[in-house]
Structure 1
Amino acid sequence: MPTDTATRPSPSALTARLPERVRVGYWTRLVPLLALLAAVTHIPSFLRPVWSPDEGYLATQARMLADGGVLYDTVVDRKPPLLPWLYQACFAVFGSGSLWPLRTLAIGAHLATAVLLASIARGRWGNRAGGAAGVLYLLLSIGLSPEDTQAATFEVFMLPAMVAAFRYAERRRWLAAGIAVALCSLTKQTGGAVMLPVLWMLYQDARWRGVPWRPALAKTSFGFALPIALVAVILTKPKGFLFWVVTGSGDYASFGSNWLQMLGRAFGNWAILAAAALGFLAPLGHRVWRRLRHRPLPVRGEEYGSTVDLWVWLLSSVVAVSVGFHFYGHYYLQLMPALVLLGVGAVSTGAVRWKPVLVYSAVACTFFWGLAVFWPGQKLNQTAEVATAVAARTSPKDTVLVWGMHPELYWLADRRPATRYLTAGFLTNYSGGKDDQKVGEQYSVSNAWQTFDAELAKGLPEVVVDDSGTAPYQPGMVPRIESLLDTHYEVVGITGDTVIYRLRKG
């Protein structure tokens, strides 16, 4: 008697029944390739528990939220809420002991970005350009310091919505474009800069097609406002959302006086990104130079008609990277989609062959991949050693205060923070990459010290970790912290430039 397996169709027979366009179609062939490339380029992300303080901050936030914390009240940050909620959701499903689920989702975000870029490029310059755009983006996506490209942080998860907003706009789907801009902004504020090219395309569409612009603008505005209103009014506290996401970062984003250091970081990261992208930036630069040198600028956008919106997008991204004058490497991820499309357009419409472009990009990617694998881990090792010491000197019910800029200590030690302010920056206005001016108690976030004192009045932390080193917020320069340590604590350990204090008994 025949069994079920004998009559069941084989996998090859099932595949043969699929329509030919699905079996051998463009996306059926391209997406698996991009998925494999996204995974391979970001394998190093799984090689260490934490890559950046942002990951540590998000992980600690997620644990606080899971313990009953309230975002923008007892859990605070200057960032929008989508990524903290994503961390919290992953921890609820997979546990909070590892960031591998977030790293996996980050690979998915890179893949989604690559597919969307491929769709845009394919629509403009054909199938080959589409595939090249997806591949070149993934090769470029690790073309900065590994701490900036291998971490599961804000910019990575912002990119799919940003590219989707542009794609919807060029297809005149204004409501969807507005929603995508909102999602991008709710991941990181500077993601909202993509609204500029969206509005540019809306204006150009109305201008050239002779259609009213007001209905399209109304759809875009409604799509943008609805998700933000939902989050700000219903899912969080409106006053807290407004302060922490919109109005409360003035001093943090101010222009420092050490402009040489600022310019060094800005142009240094530009140079790294340019070196990684030189394969397609060189043809792009040559094409722009020839047109400016030998031909008059187009009068009404005819000659640049297929790329002017991309230049507007790039300009908006440059402005977004410059906001706050910090110029951290991970900010430059926002530039990559527009740069890739401009480069692909230059190669597709020029005399340059694809092979040298792809070969150079692959070689550069290999260099940055190897850099990530062998990236020095001394600071992480020290942080892990301190976290182990803190865990050994405390119990799970004890609280800890980390006086520094490395909130990953809380997560690695698996101990609750004694305060909602997870870095000393909230209490002193210190920010990495700025000078020592406007750093001190008097420059703190509004009412931060009153809140901090009230939190410690409920119970002093069992351990205080002074991770300030020689920074301008070290305890000797912040009287309240100095008094706290002198009055209630004793030194129980020193690791590198980090000092561990424990609460005196009796």
Structure 2
Amino acid sequence: MLAAPLAPPRSVAVTAAKGAYWKRLLPLLAVLACATRVPSFARPLWSPDEGYLAVQARILAQGGRLYETVVDRKPPLVPWLYEGAFALFGSDSLTPVRVLAVLAQLLTAVLLASLARRRWGDGAGRTAGVLYLLVSVGLNPEDAQAAGFEVFMLPCTAAAMWCADRRRWAAAGAAVAGAFLVKQTGGAVLLPVLWLCGRSRPGLLRLATGAAVPVLCAALATDPAGFLFWTVTGSAAYASFTGSELHVLVRGLTNTAILAVACAGLLPPVVRVLRIARTGAADLWLWLAASAGAVLLGFHFFGHYYLQLIPPVALLATAALQILPRDRGTTALLTSSCCCAVFLSWGLLAPRPELAHAQRLAAAVAHRTDPTDRVLFWGMHPETYWLADRTPASRYLTAGLLTNYSGGRDGPQVGEKYAVAGTWPAFRTELADRPPSLIIDDSRGRPYAPSRLPTLRRLLAAGYEEVGTVDGAVLYGRVAVSPVPFVVP
């Protein structure tokens, strides 16, 4: 009589079960991540942020230095990511970074699924991953589908929580640093991570070390003084609530309402559980609160800011559904699927008039200039440089940094005196040393028009004449080949 085969050790069985679980779930999440990002490939460009990053990447590839020859208020990771993608696949298309955005969303969903599975079981893991991806498109397509800062920040914030949940403090700190180096508000995830760390001195030390080292390395890899100024100390005017209060408030309420519609399947379970029981997820509530604070910071309320709220909302909804009857989970998934379909249709069908304007303007500029010419687009659409394939005449790619119009501010605090400190002297020097062949006034009646800016008005009068218009944008060509007689004060 043959002896019964020995059962495999428990650790082997657990490992096999985990492997089988992810073999089933990963393909589902991958297909869903690809499906929800289909609209992002439907247009050459979705937002000025994508355009800004594309122009930065081209300048960096030509030997430029971040915070010196090209500047932005953002940390360096995403510009470097664009630069790397362009180096490998060319800079004529954003398709490579769009693929990276799909992978970023997939990684975020996987990390959330792993967090939920560890806390509430296999079903919760599937629910969290699927709900996150369904809701991730629930904003204006310009905000949800662009390969912008927030999309690449979310995997870092999810990784920080995943590592903290497993008491891997050095790795959690590095993930917090990664989120901050994508966008400053990503550092908000440090609050729930600290909550999970508690008062463990060794844990706090490892967490602090893990967070500090990547930030210091990034500062040293760029210009440390410039890094500090452009990412931390130089944005006081941008973060002010003064000016355009009603305009900004309406934008905030509108984007809040849009995201609430996208979360129609998630919010009812959370609200119901709040009334009848506690979810036991204090760190997730703190994560949501910290993310909401990050959305409020700066008082601009752009739609893409709200992406930071979606991971903790998805996990809180998953926690709530573990308490409620099973049919509530089915309802949440069906409702979220329907809302997702609506937002995907919006992304595929909605017209993008500003993109069409930028494309016409870029075509006109490319026709009037040579590939080696430097041009200056005076407006808020840096993507036009990329579309026209022309080199910017200034390190400042939009009029916002020079007028405080950044953030859609259209009130009285727009003008030269509200610019980022030190920008106008540098701007005057750039244009005096290497005058642009063509200046394009794309203000179209907005508060940063040259007629309201003495320095730019004098520059145009000194050596430029109107040579054409495109959709309200005015093109100014140089009067003579000799240097423009423009004196730096």
The TM-score with structure 2 as length reference comes to 0.93
Tell me the residue number matched to 2:325.
351
From 212, 215, 218, the counterpart of 1:228: 215
Q: What residue number does 2:425 align with?
A: 450
2:395 to 416, 420, 435: 420
Give the letter for the 1:170 counterpart.
Answer: D
My pick for the range that moved more, 456-465 or 386-395, is: 456-465
**CA–CA distance in 2 between the matches of 1:434 and 1:341?**
34
Cα distance in 1, alignment partners of residues 67 and 128 from structure 2: 39
Aligned pair partner of 1:394 in 366, 369, 378: 369
* Structure 1 residue 21, shift from structure 2 partner: 3.2
Residue 254 of structure 1 is matched in structure 2 by 240
Whether contact under 8 Å (2:410, 2:447) holds in the other structure is no
1:329 aligns with 2:315: no
Within-5 A mapping of 1:7-406: 21=16, 25-203=20-198, 206=199, 213-233=200-220, 235-291=221-277, 303-305=278-280, 307-351=281-325, 353=327, 354-406=329-381
Deviation at 1:33, TM superposition (A): 0.8
Pairwise CA distance, 1:505: 3.1
Helix, strand or coil: the match of 2:381?
A: coil
Structure 1 residue 452: Cα displacement: 0.8
Alignment partners' CA distance in 1, 2:246 and 2:114: 41
Distance 1:332 1:218 in 2: 31
2:434 aligned residue:
459
In 2, distance between residues paired with 1:49 and 1:501? 27
One-letter code aligned to 1:349: I
Structure 1 unaligned runs (5+)?
A: 1-18, 207-212, 292-302
How far is the alpha carbon of 1:289 from its aligned partner?
A: 3.0
1:62 CA drift (Å): 0.4
Whether contact under 8 Å (1:280, 1:347) holds in the other structure is no
Which segment drifts farther, 374-383 or 329-338?
Answer: 374-383
Structure 2 CA distance, aligned partners of 1:180 and 1:341? 19
Q: What is aligned with 1:6? A: none
* Aligned-partner residue type, residue 313 of structure 2: L
The count of corresponding residues between Structure 1 and Structure 2 is: 467
Give the whole-Å Cα distance in 1 for the aligned partners of 2:209 and 2:98: 33
In the superposition, relative to structure 1, how do residues 370 and 304 fare at CA in structure 2: closer, same or farther (>3 Å)?
closer
Where 1:324 maps in the other structure, the secondary structure is coil
- 1:304 Cα shift? 4.5
**Aligned AA for 1:151?**
A
Q: Matches of 1:390 and 1:448 in 2, distance apart?
A: 25
Supply the distance in 2 between the matched residues of 1:330 and 1:426 (Cα, whole angstroms). Answer: 20
CA distance in 2, matches of 1:180, 1:373: 34
Does structure 1 residue 488 correspond to structure 2 residue 456?
A: no
For the residue of structure 2 that corresponds to 1:226, the secondary structure is helix
Do the aligned partners of 1:55 and 1:152 also contact (CA within 8 Å) in 2? yes
Q: Report how far residue 266 of structure 1 moved.
A: 1.3
Please report how far the alpha carbon of residue 492 of structure 1 lies from its aligned counterpart in structure 2 after TM superposition: 2.0
What RMSD in Å do the two structures reach over aligned CA positions?
Answer: 1.5
Give, in whole Å, the separation in 2 of the partners of 1:146 and 1:272. Answer: 11
Q: Deviations over 1:325-351 (max 9, x none)?
A: 000000000000000000111111112
Give the stretch that moved more between structures: 425-434 or 46-55: 425-434
- The residue number in structure 1 matching 2:7 is none
TM-score (norm 1): 0.90
Offset at 1:20? Answer: 9.7
